[in-house]
Chain A
Amino acid sequence: MGKVYQLSEAISKYVKDGDSIAFGGFTTNRKPIAATSEILRQGQKDFVLYTGAGGSEADMLIGAGRVKAFINCYTANSGVTNVCRRFRKAIEKNEILFEDYSQDALLLMLHGAMLGLPYIPIRMMLGTGLIDEWGISEEVRKTVDKLPNKKYVLQDNPFDPGHQIVQLPVPQLDVAVIHVQKASVSGTCIIEGDEFHDVDIAIAAKSTIVTCEELVSDEVIRRDPTVTNIPGFCVQAVVQVPYGAHPSQCYNYYDYDNVFYKHYDQVSKTEEEFDQFIQEWVMGVKDNDEYIDKIGASRLAKLKPVQGLGYAVDMTKMAQEGK
């Protein structure tokens, strides 16, 4: 039973200032937002942040000034906010260190971390700004503990001389934070739907914090090993956090909350309104229970997916329209 925590305990035990930290999910799908909010409440900062295809979690941490260096490939609440606004402003105002990789490159770096490889060779990025421009210079990299010393190294392919390849550094992750559908008390996880890079970072990180919709017994989770994704020994903390990915989607559990995303799109336009939003929805609520109470049961009920489709549809409306 030693791995089951309250969210506040898990975050305070495993997330420290200056950590190299990775989040799971993909833009507006299965983003660990409740865990992000708890980090914001507790105050940890100076992160080297990896999010894969990032969304609100990256935008909120950047907007609240908690990120020292952001390793970016794409940051958007797609369909609502096409470029996350606090991310955008922080770069335009030169307020954070950032590095750009292609999504393939970044996810392969995290995959390399999962495999424990020393570095990872790719053919992408050649001929482009991703090679020409370094967001973070070698000199600055020396001043940030958890950053690799170089963005990349170009090398002649030793197995195919005359062809250049790009060697990418593999990050050493201190913490991975993921949100899953089901986890057992010993940390075994079930991810339903696209796993994204979540399994990679869970294996790669020194400490993995899992928030889950449902906490189940080890006996239950062992009934079908064909649907489990992460062995418990890769997980340090398990926390039951219903709606822990809200406003993003959680397959088989809820759809994205578009009203919330549209509100965030508006308030993230200015620093003042963003700060008010953080006051209201993060600092102003004690924990996730207060957060979901504040959103309200009827609103959450509307996000429930239709069986067979996997997403929320207003079936009453469809029936009336004769579809």
Chain B
Amino acid sequence: MADYTNYTNREMQAITIAKSLTNGQIAIVGTGLPLIGAALAKRIFAPDCILVVESGLMDCAPIEVPRSVGDIRLMAHCAVQCPPVYYMGFQANEWLHGNDRMVAFIGGAQIDPYGNLNSTSIGDYHHPKARFTGSGGANGIATFVNTVIMMQHEKRRFIEKVDYVTSAGWMDGPGGRERAGLPGNRGPIMVVTDKGVMKFDEKSKRMYLAGYYESSSIEEIVENTGFEIDTSKATLIAPPTPEDIKIIREEIDPGQAFIKVPQ
């Protein structure tokens, strides 16, 4: 009998994402953990949430975990196949219609206290120390859609100023998005890491610690965050059930493409 109580921080991260989705929400998912979390949400926590991907597939229900948002694994049980430009229309129209149904999962290499994200390059843009893929769909998403940000919680990633803003967060605080010409009623709502959950203060728009895991601690999170973070509202997040862990390991990512099972 396999052990399903030895959950990892990464599994905890996937489950936290899954629990952030509610029925009726339209979730824009990217490759990796967001897809695992969204697949889990559809099985357990929010079976009536709708998954869409930026390559243009609408209302997806994949069985095997796709490796990219263009993977043909997303075609199985998908409701509508659109060209990618339609996806951009859905994204913008949800905002134009004042709907609050959409949420998107994005990630990056660096994040600042206002949730501005870098997935382009480290160091000088023209002579980077490290170059990444670039925006993909993230910039457009961060323009029109509320986001849940996925990060590895490390001091070098949580920094005061990111080297390049690929996806806009709350910019420099209250009114920052409006000043930049971006929709002010959209922005990052949560950061989910392998150590805990951060949210953004309604007034200051600055990140604060909202929750930590049994397997982490407030001290560990402060130590791994490269800027001042308010911890006064932090609460312990309940651990996953063995049933949740079993579904991830046996059904959603049996090949361990994105989540390794501890030996």
Tell me the complex Cα distance, A249–B165, Å: 33
Question: Chain A contact residues: over half helix, strand or loop, or mixed?
Answer: loop
Contact B133 A196 (CB under 8 A): no
Whether A102 contacts B70 by the Cβ 8 Å rule is no
Number of interface residues of A (CB under 8 A): 62
- In the complex, the answer to whether B143 meets A194 with C-beta atoms within 8 Å is no
Residues of B within 8 A of A270 (CB): none
A-side contacts of B143, CB under 8 Å = 123-126
Q: Which of A29, A78, A102, A127 has the most CB of B within 10 A?
A: A127
Cβ of A125: which chain B residues have Cβ within 8 Å of it? 139, 143
A123-B143, A197-B83 as given contacts; A29 in contact with B71, CB under 8 Å: yes
Say whether B64 contacts A78, CB under 8 Å.
Answer: no
Q: Which A residues touch B56, using CB under 8 A?
A: 194-196
Q: Given A53-B136, A82-B133, A127-B168: A100 and B120 within 8 A (CB)?
A: yes
Q: How large is the interface on B (under 10, 10 to 19, 20 to 34, 35 or more residues)?
A: 35 or more
Q: Is B148 in the interface zone, CB < 8 Å from A? A: no
In the complex, the answer to whether B133 meets A83 with C-beta atoms within 8 Å is yes
Residue pair B166, A28 in contact (C-beta under 8 Å): no
Chain B CB within 8 A of A204 CB: no
Interface residue ranges of A278-323 to B (CB < 8 Å): 305, 308-311, 313
Contact assessment for B168 and A29 in the assembled complex, using a CB-CB cutoff below 8 Å: no
A57 within 8 A of B: no
Evaluate contact between B83 and A102: CB separation under 8 angstroms: no
- Asked if B236 is at the interface of the complex by the 8 Å CB criterion, the answer is no
The SS class assigned to the B binding surface is: loop
Smallest Cβ-Cβ distance to B74: which chain A residue: A194
CA distance A168 to B83 in the complex (A): 20
A91 contacts the other chain (Cβ, under 8 Å)? yes
User: Are B67 and A78 neighbours in the complex by a CB distance under 8 Å?
Assistant: yes
B81 interfacial contact with A, CB 8 Å: yes
Q: Does B7 contact A (CB under 8 A)?
A: no
A108 at the interface (CB under 8 A from B): yes
Q: Report the minimal beta-carbon distance from A277 to chain B, rounded to whole angstroms.
A: 21
Interface string of B182-214 (1 = CB under 8 A from A): 100000000000000000000000000000000
Q: Tell me the complex Cα distance, A313–B64, Å.
A: 10
Given A128-B166, A255-B72, do A100 and B83 touch, yes or no (CB 8 Å)?
Answer: no
In the complex, the answer to whether A129 meets B67 with C-beta atoms within 8 Å is: no
| B68-A27 in contact (CB<8A) | yes
Q: Tell me, rounded to whole Å, the shortest Cβ–Cβ distance linking B171 to chain A.
A: 6
Check A127/B181 contact, CB under 8 A, given A29-B70, A199-B83, A311-B76: yes
* Distance between Cα atoms of A234 and B139 in the complex (Å): 32
A104 & B67 in contact (Cβ 8 Å cutoff): no
CB neighbours of B167 from chain A (8 A): 128
Instruction: Check A129–B120 contact: CB distance below 8 A.
Output: yes
B233 close to A (CB within 8 Å): no
Determine the distance from Cα of A196 to Cα of B180 in the docked complex, in whole angstroms: 30
Across the interface, name the chain B residue whose C-beta is closest to A162: B181
Expressed in whole angstroms, the Cα–Cα distance for A216 and B79 within the complex equals: 29
A to B contact number (C-beta, < 8 Å): 186
* Given A92-B130, A127-B181, A311-B76, A28 and B71 contact (CB-CB distance below 8 Å): yes
Q: Given A108-B88, A126-B168, A128-B139, A194 and B57 touching (CB < 8 A)?
A: yes
Judge if A271 is at the interface, Cβ distance under 8 Å: no
Q: Is the CB of B136 within 8 A of A74?
A: yes
Q: Does B131 contact A (CB under 8 A)?
A: yes
Given A28-B70, A255-B72, A88 and B139 contact (CB-CB distance below 8 Å): no
Which of B8-16, B44-52, B121-129, B219-227 forms part of the interface with chain A? B121-129
B85 lies within 8 A of chain A by Cβ: yes
A130 at the interface (CB under 8 A from B): yes
Does A105 belong to the interface (CB within 8 Å)?
Answer: yes
Task: Tell me which residues from 15 to 59 in chain B have a Cβ below 8 Å from any Cβ of chain A.
Answer: 31, 54-57
Q: A83-B132, A105-B140 are in contact. Are A133 and B72 (CB under 8 A)?
A: no
Q: B168 to chain A: which residues have CB within 8 Å?
A: 126-128
Complex contact A76–B137 (CB within 8 A): no
Once bound together, how far apart are the Cα atoms of A132 and B129, in whole Å?
Answer: 19
Answer yes or no: B229 CB below 8 A from chain A CBs: no
With beta carbons under 8 angstroms apart, the residue of B118, B126, B139 that contacts A124 is B139
Q: For residues 159 through 175 of chain B, which have their beta carbon under 8 Å from a beta carbon of chain A?
A: 164-168, 171
What A residues does B135 contact at CB under 8 A?
73-74, 100-103, 130
Contacts from B to A (Cβ < 8 Å): 31, 54-57, 63-64, 67-73, 75-76, 81, 83-85, 88, 91-92, 118, 120-121, 125-140, 143-144, 164-168, 171, 176-177, 180-182, 257
A-B residue pairs, 7 tightest by C-beta:
A79-B67, A127-B180, A78-B68, A26-B70, A102-B139, A104-B140, A74-B136
A-B contact pairs, 12 of them (CB 8 A): A26-B68, A28-B68, A29-B55, A53-B55, A74-B135, A74-B136, A76-B68, A91-B128, A193-B75, A194-B81, A196-B84, A256-B67
